[in-house]
Chains A and B, each alone.
Chain A
Amino acid sequence: AQSVTQLDSHVSVSEGTPVLLRCNYSSSYSPSLFWYVQHPNKGLQLLLKYTSAATLVKGINGFEAEFKKSETSFHLTKPSAHMSDAAEYFCVVSADNYGQNFVFGPGTRLSVLP
């Protein structure tokens, strides 16, 4: 079975400092991996996705993630946090090779301090 672990339930950074949100996955197939962001009382927005092309994936709003097969990781980074980045972030793995049945991690809440 596929699963996703987000190693931190809450991360707090100061504005202007780097962001690292960690994600590890397990999958029987070559996975498709995604990061979604959810701002308070809002829906989910795609930040970026990995689908077996380049291992370093660039997304919106300056975020990027690196797929490391040997470590089964897909960590999300941003060089400099902005106040508007405060939100819940979800790492997601596609749980079958037909691209359906997505499995979500429990989420990491990012706080950005002034």
Chain B
Amino acid sequence: NAGVTQTPKFQVLKTGQSMTLQCAQDMNHEYMSWYRQDPGMGLRLIHYSVGAGITDQGEVPNGYNVSRSTTEDFPLRLLSAAPSQTSVYFCASSYSTASGGAGTQYFGPGTRLTVL
């Protein structure tokens, strides 16, 4: 299993450009999430999905769009990049346990995005 993969690893954008960060998992997990990591703030949830065709907003969704057409893929779109979106982005997948509690989240290696 490759686990959770993210592309690209690094990206530099100019203000106003759009782009898509790719995320894929091969563990057949129901849940997928996108986080951004900024110094001193831990990881903050951008969007998440509880299954194909179902997405919801997290703590910091503005400026980002997601869709989930398959179980495996969960791309994150930046509509019009701004310097405030300079960050490291992590994708994660997880599952529910038989008891209903949270399963382990598995993280991708991250994408370091700089917006000039």
**A and B associate:** yes
Question: Contact between B100 and A44 (Cβ–Cβ < 8 Å)?
Answer: no
Q: Which residues of B are found within 8 Å of A45, using beta-carbon distances?
A: 107
Question: Contact between B108 and A99 (Cβ–Cβ < 8 Å)?
Answer: no
Q: Which 9 A-B pairs have the closest CB atoms?
A: A99-B102, A32-B102, A94-B102, A104-B42, A51-B101, A104-B43, A44-B107, A106-B42, A99-B96
B110 beta carbon closer than 8 Å to chain A: yes
B residues contacting the other copy or chain, number (CB 8 A): 29
Question: Contact between A101 and B58 (Cβ–Cβ < 8 Å)?
Answer: yes
B33 beta carbon closer than 8 Å to chain A: yes
Output the least CB separation between A11 and chain B (Å).
15
A residues contacting the other copy or chain, number (CB 8 A): 26
Q: Which of B11-19, B44-52, B78-86 contacts A (4 or more CB under 8 A)?
A: B44-52
Output the least CB separation between A54 and chain B (Å).
13
B40 beta carbon closer than 8 Å to chain A: yes
Question: Contact between A32 and B109 (Cβ–Cβ < 8 Å)?
Answer: no
Chain A residue nearest to B31 (CB atoms) is: A100
Question: Contact between A106 and B97 (Cβ–Cβ < 8 Å)?
Answer: no
- For A32, give its contact among B41, B90, B101 (CB under 8 Å): B101
Within 8 A of A (CB), among B86-110: 90, 94-97, 99-110
Output the least CB separation between B115 and chain A (Å).
20
Question: Contact between A99 and B42 (Cβ–Cβ < 8 Å)?
Answer: no
- For A9, give its contact among B40, B106, B107, B109 (CB under 8 Å): B40
Within 8 A of B (CB), among A65-114: 90, 92, 94, 97-107
Chain B residue nearest to A52 (CB atoms) is: B101
Question: Contact between A34 and B105 (Cβ–Cβ < 8 Å)?
Answer: yes
